[in-house]
């Protein structure tokens, strides 16, 4: 079967796997080849991906999982793949922290630019007759 992880920027991962185990807070279930069509949501949960002897964990911050026609599709805002649950979760949290810091810096930069523009308008006495 095939797994596709689709994020905000398009396809993030596309791989062939033997099976997947969706690990939710309420329990877990496996998805094998020729499984019935399935739809579930994930929120801070994992999908264990198995391909031969290789095992990886996909941490899904928030998203939906659809299995149809031998394709497991994960639609998510944030997800990371790693060799352990902890590594995958740490990757997502680190990426989100970096993005948050970048947004804060941009907001500060815009605030500074706005302040400078206001000062220039006042100095030029623009808007006064």
Q: Is residue 129 part of a domain?
A: no
CATH number reported for the structural domain that contains residue 18 in this entry: 2.60.15.10
Angle at 9 between CA 25 and CA 40, to 5 degrees: 25
pLDDT (tens place) for every residue of the chain, 129 residues total? 999 999 988 999 999 999 999 999 999 999 999 899 999 999 889 999 999 999 999 988 889 999 999 999 999 988 888 888 888 778 877 877 887 888 777 776 777 788 888 888 888 876 565
Q: Which residues contact 22 (CB under 8 A, 6 or more apart)?
A: 28, 29, 30, 31, 40, 42, 45, 46, 47, 65
Residue at 63 is within a domain: yes
Partners of 75 in the beta sheet?
A: 6, 64
- The residue range of the domain holding 82 is 2-124
Domain-located, residue 57: yes
Number of domains composing the chain: 1
Three-state DSSP state, 122: helix
pTM of the model: 0.69
């Amino acid at each position: 079967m095939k797994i596709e992880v689709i994020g905000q920027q398009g396809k993030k991962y596309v791989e062939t796997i033997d099976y997947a185990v969706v690990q939710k807070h309420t329990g877990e279930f496996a998805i094998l080849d020729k499984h019935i069509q399935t739809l579930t949501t994930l929120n801070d949960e994992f999908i264990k991906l198995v391909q031969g002897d290789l095992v990886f964990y996909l941490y899904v911050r928030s998203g939906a999982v659809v299995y149809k026609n031998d394709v497991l599709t994960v639609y998510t805002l944030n997800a990371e793949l790693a060799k352990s649950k902890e590594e995958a979760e740490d990757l997502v949290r680190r990426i989100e922290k970096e993005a948050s810091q970048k947004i804060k810096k941009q907001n500060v930069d815009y605030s500074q630019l706005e302040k400078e523009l206001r000062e220039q308008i006042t100095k030029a006495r623009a808007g006064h007759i």
